[in-house]
């Protein structure tokens, strides 16, 4: 919620005050409905993604997240009939295979957590495809900064009730934490970085493709897996490491296509 609030403020400031790009008004109710759908899918990915680490190790979440290019390719084909090269699809095979193997070798496997993790991954892929459509469709094309400016406030409205409902006593806890100014600064910096992350994601999608964005994004997955294992000391079986290795190979091959 804080991330999207920052995106709303920074996007408006960049467009209305700094005039970095011209302001674009929604051209139709249909376009506004698509932006609202994008916000809803984004919120679903965030909520599911924040639930799954309660039940599954971070390293396993990262491994499942590496299948995002697979879901992106499927959604891109279903929604835009866009086909990638055969080699690109071939590179996704070890990614999915690796996750399946890692799932079987995960000692802390939890079905509900796995469903949430896969749901977050699929929603993340669908969001990437939807934002690509909004920024490239001939009749309703919108630039990345304006899209973020309209999407973020809708996401805030959706996330406020989710935050209050899912996080017990969240207002009192937040006020208590805010007494430590370091926490406030961490949150402000973190939320500011979220704006640039979302903006660059939109720009990469616009100038390349939804699948390229997800493959590049997953390049950090291998590092996250190793770091999470070192920090949280969660047990790693040989089968699971084999699955991670296949997943990383698929990500690297996909990055080269």
192 belongs to a structural domain: yes
> By CB neighbour count within 10 A (0-12 exposed, 13-18 middle, 19+ buried), where does 159 fall?
buried
- Interval 35-42 mean pLDDT: 95
Q: How far apart are CA 243 and CA 99, in angstroms?
A: 6
Single pTM value for the model: 0.76
Is residue 168, in this structure, part of any structural domain at all? yes
Tokens of 138: 């001939």
Beta strands in 39-146 (DSSP E): none
Q: Tell whether 50 is covered by a domain.
A: yes
pLDDT tier, 40 (very low <50, low <70, confident <90, very high otherwise): very high
Q: Report the distance separating Cα 192 and Cα 71, nearest Å.
A: 29
187 contact partners, CB below 8 Å, separation of at least 6: 2
Whole-number pLDDT of residue 61: 81
Query: Is a pLDDT exceeding 60 seen at residue 6?
Result: yes
Query: What is residue 140's predicted lDDT score, i.e. its pLDDT?
Result: 73
33 half-sphere exposure, CB direction, 13 A CA radius: 3
pLDDT confidence band for 82 (50 / 70 / 90): confident
Residue 220 falls within a domain, yes or no?
Answer: no
pLDDT in tens, 223-237: 666 676 777 776 666
What range defines the domain where residue 13 resides?
A: 2-19+28-80+110-213
% of the chain at pLDDT higher than 90: 28
Q: Which residue has the tokens 């979302």?
A: 198
Per-residue pLDDT, averaged over 99-108, amounts to: 65
Q: Which residue has the higher pLDDT, 151 or 205?
A: 151
Please say if the pLDDT value at position 48 is more than 90: yes
Residue 148 has pLDDT above 80, yes or no: yes
Please check whether residue 229 lies inside any domain of the structure: no
The dihedral through the CA atoms of 5, 9, 14, 15 has a sign that is positive
Tokens of 13: 């400031």
- The alpha carbon of 150 is separated from its chain's Cα centroid by a whole number of angstroms, namely 18
The count of structural domains within the chain is: 1
Token pair in block for residue 91: 């590179």
Residue 94 lies in a domain: no
Three-class SS of residue 101? helix
In a domain, 139, yes or no: yes
Q: Is residue 102 part of a domain?
A: no
């Amino acid at each position: 919620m804080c991330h999207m609030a920052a995106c709303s403020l920074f996007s408006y400031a960049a467009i209305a005050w700094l005039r970095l790009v011209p302001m674009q008004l929604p051209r139709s109710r249909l376009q506004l409905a698509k932006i609202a759908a994008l916000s809803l899918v984004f919120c679903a990915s965030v909520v599911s993604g924040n639930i799954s680490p309660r039940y599954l190790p971070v390293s396993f979440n990262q491994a499942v997240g590496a299948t995002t290019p697979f879901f992106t390719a499927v959604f891109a084909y279903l929604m835009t009939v866009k086909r990638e090269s055969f080699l690109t699809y071939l590179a996704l095979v070890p990614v999915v295979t690796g996750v399946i193997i890692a799932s079987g070798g995960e000692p802390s496997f939890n079905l509900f957590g796995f469903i949430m993790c896969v749901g977050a991954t699929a929603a993340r892929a669908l969001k990437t495809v939807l934002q690509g459509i909004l920024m490239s469709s001939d009749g309703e094309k919108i630039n990345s900064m304006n899209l973020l400016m309209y999407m973020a406030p809708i996401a805030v409205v959706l996330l406020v009730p989710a935050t209050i409902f899912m996080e017990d006593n969240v207002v009192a806890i937040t006020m208590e934490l805010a007494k430590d100014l370091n926490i406030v600064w961490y949150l402000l910096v973190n939320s500011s970085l979220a704006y640039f992350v979302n903006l660059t994601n939109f720009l990469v999608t616009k100038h390349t493709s939804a699948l390229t964005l997800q493959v590049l994004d997953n390049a950090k997955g291998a590092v996250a897996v190793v770091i999470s294992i070192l920090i949280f000391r969660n047990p790693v079986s040989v089968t699971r490491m084999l699955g991670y290795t296949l997943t990383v190979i698929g990500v690297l091959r996909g990055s080269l296509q």
